[in-house]
Amino acid sequence: MIRIDRHDARIILEHHGGRSQKYKCAEELAELSTVLLQDANQSGKIPLRSIEEEMADVYVMLEQMKILYDIADDEVEDIAIDKIARTIQRMGAEVAG
């Protein structure tokens, strides 16, 4: 998992405020979505660095959202692990069926 300094993320969040950062998070998610769609439509012609930068922006914003909503890292990680396991299980059923 990416390690983002929680203290620094909190400073940014407190400086800009929760409402503003919620909008910023949605904006960064949209930018990542846009670059991934462009890459898919152009068969990988988007520079990898552009994708990396948008992903980094999203990671920073998600860390701020965890602080804002008082969500522990392990809470999100546990949910993600469960979702991956369910997906793998469904994939196995599709292959077997």
Condensed to tens digits (0 to 9), the pLDDT of residues 35-67 reads 999 999 998 889 999 999 999 999 999 999 999
Maximum separation of any 2 CA atoms in the chain, in Å: 53
pTM here?
0.88
**Environment class of residue 13 by beta-carbon count within 10 Å: exposed (0-12), middle (13-18) or buried (19+)?**
buried
Q: What count of Cα atoms within 13 Å lies in the side-chain half-sphere of residue 17?
A: 3
**Environment class of residue 64 by beta-carbon count within 10 Å: exposed (0-12), middle (13-18) or buried (19+)?**
buried
CB 34 within 8 A of CB 86: no
- Which tens digit of pLDDT belongs to each residue from 61-88? 999 999 999 999 899 999 999 999 999 9
